[in-house]
C-alpha cells in the first residue's frame, strides 16, 4: 500500500510508493507524521508547488467488517478492513441493565430507573448500530485530512431483502439486466460460508439448491435456499431433504435450524445505510452509490478474490482495476474504555476501583508500544496495545497472545491511543 504524504502546512499530497517514502525519510526531507495509517510530512515542500490528482474513497459497509479503499485513476492505492464492535456494545449494555435490575431487587445501592425524562429522536438508532456509523465516519474524516479525496462511493444496498423474500417482484430492475439474481446469490454465499451445505466442500462451483424441492411445493424464498456442489445437487434431485440426509441426522438438524436464521446482519446494514449516506453527504464531497449485486458483478468480472476491501474498491461504476498490493491495513475498533469508577463482580458489588489519573510513566492503556526486553525470562521484542498498571509493569497484547509483566523501562511509543488496534 502507498504512503500518505502531507506538505509542511499539513495539506494532503498524492500518496507515494514505500520506496519513495524511504528515500525522503533517509534524506531528511520528510518525517513520520503518523504510524497508522503510515503518513509522512514534508519538511521543505508546500502544496502550492505540487500538482495533486483526484482520489476516490470507496466504502463497503458491513455488519461486522467494513471495507475501505482509495482509488486513483483505476489504481487501488490503499485498502483497509475495519472491524466493528457492535456486538460488544450490545453485550455491555445488557450486562449493565442486568446488574442494575439485580440491585433494585435486592434493595441495595442502585441507580433509579428513568422513564419520563427521555425521548428518542425520530432518527434514533441503537448504540450498537450507531457505533458502525461513527467508526466509518471517523476513518472517512481521517483519510480526507491526509489524502486529496474528491468523492466517496458507498454501497448503499448490500442485500435486497425485498427481492429475497419475494423473488417474483415486478420491475425492470429485477427482470432485466446482467445483475439479475446477484443479490440472492451474494447473500447465500455469505450466509453458508461459501461451502456446500451437504458435504462442506469448498473451493468449487456452488449451485443454488432448494431445501424443499419446488416440484413438491417448495418456494423461492431465501429461507428455503442453500448452496450445494454439483455432485450433491444432482444426487439430491427432487428428493425430500429428510430422505436425502437420512444417514446424516446432524447435518439435517443443522441445515433446518440454520436456514431459518433471521436476516440480522442484513437488517443491521440496511438500518444504518441511509444514516451513513446522510453523514457522508454532510462532508460536502460528491457521493456515488451502488448495490451489492453491482459490487459482486464488478469483482467477478475482474477475477478478484473475495475480501471486504476489494469489494469496496469495486463499489459503483468500475471499468478496470489495478491492485498494487494485496496486504490491507486491518483495523479493529476497541473503544476508549469505560467511565465506570469501579469494577463489579458477577453479583454487581464493587470489586476494585480505577485510578482517576490515566497516565502511568507517560503511557496510557490502549497505546501501541514496542518493548525490547534485554534481560530476564521474557527476553525478546514485543509490539502491541498495552494495559497500564500503577506499578509500571504493563501487559502487552500482541499477535501471538498476551505478554504480562513488561516493565515500562523497555517500552517506547509507536502510536498513541485512538480507540483502534492495527495489524497487517
Is 70 exceeded by the pLDDT of residue 180? no
Q: Minimal CA–CA distance to 209: which of 230, 186, 179, 181?
A: 230
Q: What SS3 state is found at 157?
A: strand
Q: Are strands 55-60 and 149-157 parallel, antiparallel or unpaired?
A: parallel
Report, as an integer, the average pLDDT of 183-196. 79
Residue 232 sits in a domain of what CATH number?
1.10.30
Tens-digit pLDDT profile for residues 117-134 = 677 887 888 899 999 999
Tens-digit pLDDT profile for residues 138-166 = 999 999 999 999 999 999 865 555 555 55
Distance, in Å, from the CA atom of 412 to the CA atom of 383, rounded to the nearest integer, reads 10
- The answer to the question of residue 215 being in a domain is yes
What's the confidence (pLDDT) of residue 79?
94
Task: Name the band, by pLDDT with cuts 50, 70 and 90, for residue 181.
Answer: low
Task: Note whether 415 and 36 are within 8 A (CB).
Answer: yes
Mean pLDDT of the residues in the chain: 85
Report, as an integer, the average pLDDT of 408-414. 92
- The answer to the question of residue 258 being in a domain is yes
Is 90 exceeded by the pLDDT of residue 257? no
How many domains does the chain fold into? 3
> For the chain, what percent of residues have pLDDT higher than 90?
36
How many angstroms separate the first and last alpha carbons of the chain? Answer: 11
What's the confidence (pLDDT) of residue 161?
52
Distance, in Å, from the CA atom of 272 to the CA atom of 265, rounded to the nearest integer, reads 11
Distance, in Å, from the CA atom of 101 to the CA atom of 104, rounded to the nearest integer, reads 5
Distance, in Å, from the CA atom of 236 to the CA atom of 230, rounded to the nearest integer, reads 10
Q: What SS3 state is found at 179?
A: coil
Is 50 exceeded by the pLDDT of residue 46? yes
Q: What SS3 state is found at 291?
A: strand
- HEC letters along 275-287: HHHHHHHCCCCEE
- The answer to the question of residue 23 being in a domain is yes
- Kindly report the CA angle at 301 between 300 and 304, in degrees rounded to 5? 50
Distance of CA 131 to the CA centre of its chain: 11
pTM for the predicted model, two decimal places: 0.76
Which of 215, 239, 262 terminates a domain? The answer is: 262
Which of 262, 277, 311 terminates a domain? The answer is: 262
- The answer to the question of residue 98 being in a domain is no
Is 80 exceeded by the pLDDT of residue 263? no
- The answer to the question of residue 253 being in a domain is yes
Tens-digit pLDDT profile for residues 288-315 = 998 888 888 889 888 899 899 999 999 9
What's the confidence (pLDDT) of residue 158?
55
Distance, in Å, from the CA atom of 72 to the CA atom of 57, rounded to the nearest integer, reads 9
C-alpha cell at 193: 460460508
Distance, in Å, from the CA atom of 388 to the CA atom of 364, rounded to the nearest integer, reads 6
Residue 366 sits in a domain of what CATH number?
2.30.30
Lowest mean pLDDT among 67-81, 106-120, 277-291, 352-366: 106-120
What's the confidence (pLDDT) of residue 359?
87
Domain that holds residue 364: 355-418
CA dihedral over 47, 48, 53, 56, signed as positive or negative: positive
Which of 262, 292, 317 terminates a domain? The answer is: 262
Please classify residue 385 by burial: count the beta carbons closer than 10 Å to its beta carbon, then call 0-12 exposed, 13-18 middle and 19+ buried: buried
- The answer to the question of residue 237 being in a domain is yes
What's the confidence (pLDDT) of residue 193?
81
Is 50 exceeded by the pLDDT of residue 171? no
What's the confidence (pLDDT) of residue 355?
75
Residue with grid cell 489519573, as numbered in its chain: 357
Distance, in Å, from the CA atom of 58 to the CA atom of 312, rounded to the nearest integer, reads 5
* Residues paired with 385 in a beta bridge: 368, 397
C-alpha cell at 410: 523497555
Task: Note whether 42 and 5 are within 8 A (CB).
Answer: yes
Task: Note whether 61 and 155 are within 8 A (CB).
Answer: yes
Distance, in Å, from the CA atom of 293 to the CA atom of 318, rounded to the nearest integer, reads 13
- Kindly report the CA angle at 208 between 187 and 269, in degrees rounded to 5? 5
Cβ atoms within 10 Å, residue 420: 20
- The answer to the question of residue 365 being in a domain is yes
- More confident position, 171 or 159: 159
- The answer to the question of residue 149 being in a domain is no
Task: Name the band, by pLDDT with cuts 50, 70 and 90, for residue 60.
Answer: very high
- More confident position, 201 or 145: 145
Amino acid at each position: 500500500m502507498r504512503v500518505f504524504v502531507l506538505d509542511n502546512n499539513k495539506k494532503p499530497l498524492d500518496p507515494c510508493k514505500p520506496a519513495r517514502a524511504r528515500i525522503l525519510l533517509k534524506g531528511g526531507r520528510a518525517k513520520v507524521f503518523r504510524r497508522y495509517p503510515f503518513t509522512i510530512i514534508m519538511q521543505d515542500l508546500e502544496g502550492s508547488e505540487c500538482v495533486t490528482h483526484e482520489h476516490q474513497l470507496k466504502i463497503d459497509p458491513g455488519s461486522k467488517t467494513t471495507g475501505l479503499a482509495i482509488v486513483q485513476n483505476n489504481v487501488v492505492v490503499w485498502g483497509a478492513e475495519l472491524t466493528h464492535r457492535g456486538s460488544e456494545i450490545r453485550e455491555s449494555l445488557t450486562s449493565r441493565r442486568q446488574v442494575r435490575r439485580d440491585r433494585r431487587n435486592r434493595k441495595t445501592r442502585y441507580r433509579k430507573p428513568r422513564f419520563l425524562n427521555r425521548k428518542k429522536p425520530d432518527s434514533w438508532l441503537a448504540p450498537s448500530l450507531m457505533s458502525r456509523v461513527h467508526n466509518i465516519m471517523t476513518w472517512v474524516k481521517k483519510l480526507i485530512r491526509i489524502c486529496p479525496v474528491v468523492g466517496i462511493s458507498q454501497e448503499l444496498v448490500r442485500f435486497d431483502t425485498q427481492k429475497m423474500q419475494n423473488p417474483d417482484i415486478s420491475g425492470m430492475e429485477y427482470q432485466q439486466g446482467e445483475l439479475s439474481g446477484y443479490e440472492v446469490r451474494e447473500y447465500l454465499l455469505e450466509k453458508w460460508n461459501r461451502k456446500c451445505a451437504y458435504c462442506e466442500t469448498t473451493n468449487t462451483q456452488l449451485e443454488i439448491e432448494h431445501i424443499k424441492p419446488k416440484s413438491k411445493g417448495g418456494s423461492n424464498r431465501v429461507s428455503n435456499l442453500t448452496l450445494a456442489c454439483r455432485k450433491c445437487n444432482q444426487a439430491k434431485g427432487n428428493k425430500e431433504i429428510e430422505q436425502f440426509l437420512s444417514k446424516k441426522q446432524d447435518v439435517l438438524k443443522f441445515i433446518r435450524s440454520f436456514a431459518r436464521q433471521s436476516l440480522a446482519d442484513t437488517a443491521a446494514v440496511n438500518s444504518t445505510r441511509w444514516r451513513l449516506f446522510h453523514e457522508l453527504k454532510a462532508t460536502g464531497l460528491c457521493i456515488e452509490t451502488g448495490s451489492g449485486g453491482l459490487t459482486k458483478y464488478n469483482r467477478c468480472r475482474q477475477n478478484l478474490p473475495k475480501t471486504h476491501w476489494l469489494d469496496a474498491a469495486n463499489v459503483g461504476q468500475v471499468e478496470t482495476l489495478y491492485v498494487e498490493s494485496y496486504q490491507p491495513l486491518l483495523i479493529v475498533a476497541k473503544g476508549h474504555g469505560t467511565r465506570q469508577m469501579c469494577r463489579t463482580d458477577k453479583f454487581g458489588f464493587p470489586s476494585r476501583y480505577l485510578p482517576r489519573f490515566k497516565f502511568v510513566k507517560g503511557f496510557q492503556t490502549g497505546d501501541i508500544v514496542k518493548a525490547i526486553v534485554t534481560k530476564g525470562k521474557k527476553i525478546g521484542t514485543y509490539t502491541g496495545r498495552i494495559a497500564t498498571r500503577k506499578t509500571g509493569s504493563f501487559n502487552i497484547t500482541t499477535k501471538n497472545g498476551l505478554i504480562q509483566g513488561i516493565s515500562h523501562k523497555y517500552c517506547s511509543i509507536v502510536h498513541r491511543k485512538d480507540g483502534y488496534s492495527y495489524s497487517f
